[in-house]
Every structure is written in structure tokens, then in C-alpha cells.
Amino acid sequence: MKVLIPGSFDPPTNGHIEVIKRASNVFDEVFVGVVVNPQKDPMFEVAERKKMLSEILVDISNVNIESFEGLLVDFAKKMKINAIVKGLRAMTDFDYEFQMAQMNFNLADFETIFIPASPEYGYVSSSMVKEIYSYGGDVSALVPSVVVERLNNG
């Protein structure tokens, strides 16, 4: 089975990586889809996010890093994906994720499979990482070392 894990990954966190690794243990092929969102002002360009993800996940042979623009379901169809995979951190994620899952099913019959994040990653988000970093805080426990290096080297 071929699945797609979509997201902004701006930047990738330890929580994202855990979900991708766990998905790679369950599914034959895992595509990570970095969204190109023209409305957002990202910290990292899409190419940079893809590069970081590729470096972090280099040892996992059934994971592929891609990017997409437009509707997730259109990209999933193009890539001949069987299902969408998302990580769920806490109940706070649930409403939004449930709504997107129902919408993607309504749009194109794509099922969404949720992987529950481990408790140690339940509180980690890219937006908090960016906020902590912007105030000079230490994010090294929240993101892979590749991301820490990229942040430190501007």
C-alpha cells in the first residue's frame, strides 16, 4: 500500500519524523508531500524543507520526499496513492483533522489513516518551534539535528 503524508514541514519536527518512520514500518511506500502554500510566508523555502527531510530520512528506503501545489487529492490521484496518513497529537488536532479527512473523502474517496503521536511529541509543533527559536530559545530537543544546524547557519 502506497500512502501520502502531507504537511507544511516548516520546519520538520521530531513529531513529524516519528510519524513518517512509523508509517514506513506499516506501509510499502510512503510519500511525504511538502505543500507549496502561496498564502503562507514560510521560514524555509519548499526546496530547503525537502532537502532537510531527505537528509533526515536518508536511511529509510521506502520513504520518498515530494512537493505539491493545489489540492491534496489531485496530487494523491496523480501519484496513485491509496490513502492519506496523518499524525494526531492531541484532541486539539482532532476537529481540524477530522474535517479535512471527511472533506478529502468527499472530494475524491481518499481515506485518511491516523497515527497517534507518542506522548513525548504530543506538544511539539512547527509553529512553536519557530516562536521559541525567534526568541532565542533552545529547540534542539524538538527538531532533528539537521534542522538545528540549518537554523544556526541561517
Binding site for ligand PNS (CB under 6 A): 6-8, 35, 71-72, 100, 103-104
Q: Which of 8, 16, 86, 150 is catalytic?
A: 16
Q: In terms of CB distance, is 98 or 145 closer to ligand PNS?
A: 98
- Residue in the structure block whose three cell numbers are 521506502: 62
- Active site residue: 24, 49, 86, 126, which one? 126
- Alpha-carbon distance of 24 to 140, in angstroms, equals 24
Active site residue 24: no
Closest contact distance (angstroms) between CB of 85 and ligand PNS is 11
Q: Least distance in Å: CB of 15 to ligand PNS?
A: 11
> Exposure of 18 by Cβ count < 10 A (0-12 exposed, 13-18 middle, 19+ buried)?
middle
User: In the annotation, is 40 catalytic?
Assistant: yes
Q: Which of 77, 94, 89 is nearest to 33 (CA)?
A: 77
The H or E element spanning position 76 is helix 72-78
- List active site positions: 16, 40, 89, 126
